[in-house]
Amino acid sequence: MEQALSRRRLLHLSAAAAATSASRTLLFARGRGIRVGVTDWNLRLASRPEALGLAKRIGFAGIQVSLGRQPSRGKLLLADSKMQLLYQAESMKTEMPINATCLDILHVNFLKSDKVALQWVAEGIEATKGLEAQVMLLPFFNQGAIETQAEKEYVADALRELAPTAEKAKVILALENTLSAADNAWILDRTKSKAVQVYYDTYNSQKAGYDIYKEIRWLTAKRIAQVHFKDKGYLGEGEVDFNRVVRSLADADYKGWANLETPSPSGAIEADMRRNLIFIKGVIDRAPKA
């Protein structure tokens, strides 16, 4: 009898625990939303571990770090294992996760035309994995911008070759450029890999003349790896309507990271970043929860 009661009690406790867990999961699912981080280069601490401490002090939840625009001894700066250990230690100390990296050396060696860029992408995948991040931004701007159909095809085919390496490392290659959502989707489809997605920048796409609210909803969370919240000046005072951006992201079922890639109009980086963070958190907090 006592053994039977014990079994019934155990089953009751197990069921109660499962119900509590499910309830907590549901509450989390309803309340979870966009997590706001920051780019280390806009803190003016690109490729420097102390950026994590500053981001934490301002109040950000995560940080995107530069892998180094100039190589060191023929390798990416953050491909060095000692540098990665420094970042891992600083991340633990500050409780500041590295939510993404940026392969900014592609501003020097263009992926659309330079064979060396393929080496940097492969090396960047391993560096991103070593930093325990899951997204690597691939920039295509200025002379490196994708402008022709031939360049779209070349980039897509190059990424198709690199995609298996990214898949194995569990790293997403996220394209940030001046193309439309449709053109980006064409590249993604040609790569035939879920490891190639879009890094959506609100200001870049707005400036290029696209309907960013429509594009975000059309791409959906399946194609958007991460987002940059950005405008010409302070958030909320420029051309981008961030209330509509946040609603569009909700419609797209996006619940990932959005990093502030914002300038510092006053020159006081910490104060300006905190101002932008307070603004965008207010927008997110006011948004209807799913």
- Give the per-residue pLDDT at 253: 97
Closest CA to 280 of 250, 239, 246: 246
Q: Distance between CA 225 and CA 200 in Å, rounded?
A: 8
- Residues 144 and 2 placed together within one structural domain of the fold: no
Amino acid type, 33: G
Residues 148 and 236 in one domain: yes
**Pair (122, 227) in one structural domain:** yes
- Classified as helix, coil or strand, 35 is strand
Provide the residue type at 280 as one letter: I
In 3-state terms, what secondary structure has residue 25? helix
- Residues 26 and 41 occupy one common structural domain: no
17 plus 76 within the same structural domain: no
Both 10 and 45 in one domain: the answer is no
DSSP three-state, residue 113:
coil
Total domain count, the chain? 2
**Structural domain span for residue 146:** 33-286
Pair (269, 181) in one structural domain: yes
Residue with tokens 């959506």: 200
124 with 229, same domain: the answer is yes
Does residue 150 sit in the same domain as residue 27? no
Same domain for 16 and 3: yes
Q: CATH number for the domain including 280? A: 3.20.20.150
What pLDDT tens digit does each residue of the chain (290 aa) get? 334 434 443 334 334 334 433 333 333 233 348 999 999 999 999 999 999 999 999 999 999 999 999 998 899 999 999 999 999 999 999 999 999 999 999 999 999 999 999 999 999 999 999 999 999 999 999 999 999 999 999 999 999 999 999 999 999 999 999 999 999 999 999 999 999 999 999 999 999 999 999 999 999 999 999 999 999 999 999 999 999 999 999 999 999 999 999 999 999 999 999 999 999 999 999 987 65
pTM: 0.88
Q: What CA–CA distance (Å, rounded) separates 160 from 155? A: 8
d(C-alpha 226, C-alpha 213), whole Å: 15
pLDDT value, residue 105:
98
pLDDT score of 287: 86
Tell me: do 248 and 150 sit in the same domain.
yes
Please indicate, yes or no, whether residues 84 and 118 belong to a single structural domain of this protein.
Answer: yes
Integer Cα distance of 38 and 226 in angstroms? 12
